[in-house]
Amino acid sequence: PSRSFHGNSRLLTSQIISYYESINQCKKELPEYFNFASDVLDEWARLEKDGRKPANPAFWWVNDEGEEVKWSFEELGSLSRKAANVLSGACGLQRGDRVIAVLPRVPDWWLMNVACMRAGIVLIPGTSQLTAKDISYRLQASKAKCIITSDTLAPAVESVLPGSQFLKSKLLVGQGSRDGWLNFKELL
């Protein structure tokens, strides 16, 4: 059964099912390469810009104090391209490189997810509850070339960095600064 979501005509459940059925029956070609950021996010931004899709937030974040961050599809696309450029430029990362993000679920966490998808970089998410031992293990096991964290979590992360032989760059998300760390906000 098909239905509308928030009163807007969108891709409905029955349409989604029939689309997947047509793929399974080889009636539609699967793309050789698929990138969510460019194939979905950028397409939705184009549809909104052309007036063929109603403008809805692509991202809407609210914290406990009621502060909001709201990005349209176009804004999220633009910001994720800039973030991907930070990762590939300033951090020197290439397609297939691994990045560990030890961040609370702030908007930059989601932005990094999309930026990594866009650039073909493997994101290894880590909760802010990881201990120094956990972080050290993940750095060594993954051979991550970059670590991303907040200014409040950086001291715990820094305590294990001397033993990390693969790490090339450290990216700080937040308002503060630290010696030897790149500041994401400034680079963005």
Tens-of-pLDDT digits for all 188 residues of the chain?
444 444 444 444 565 566 667 666 776 566 788 888 988 889 989 988 888 887 789 999 999 999 999 999 999 999 999 999 999 999 999 999 999 999 998 999 999 999 999 999 999 999 889 988 999 999 999 999 999 999 888 988 888 888 788 999 999 998 888 999 999 999 99
The single-letter DSSP state of residue 141 is: H
Q: What is the pLDDT of residue 32?
A: 81
SS3 61: strand
Short-list 105, 98, 101, 44, CA closest to 75: 44
13 vs 184: CA distance, rounded Å: 39
77 vs 122: CA distance, rounded Å: 18
Contact, 77 vs 48, CB < 8 A? no
The structural domains of the chain, ordered by start, are: 36-183 (3.40.50.980)
Q: What is the pLDDT of residue 124?
A: 96
- Which ranges in the chain belong to alpha helices (H)? 13-24, 36, 42-49, 73-88, 107-119, 132-142, 154-158, 184-187
Q: Give me the count of residues in the chain.
A: 188
CA angle, residues 77, 33, 124, in degrees to nearest 5: 60
132 vs 109: CA distance, rounded Å: 20
pTM of the model: 0.81
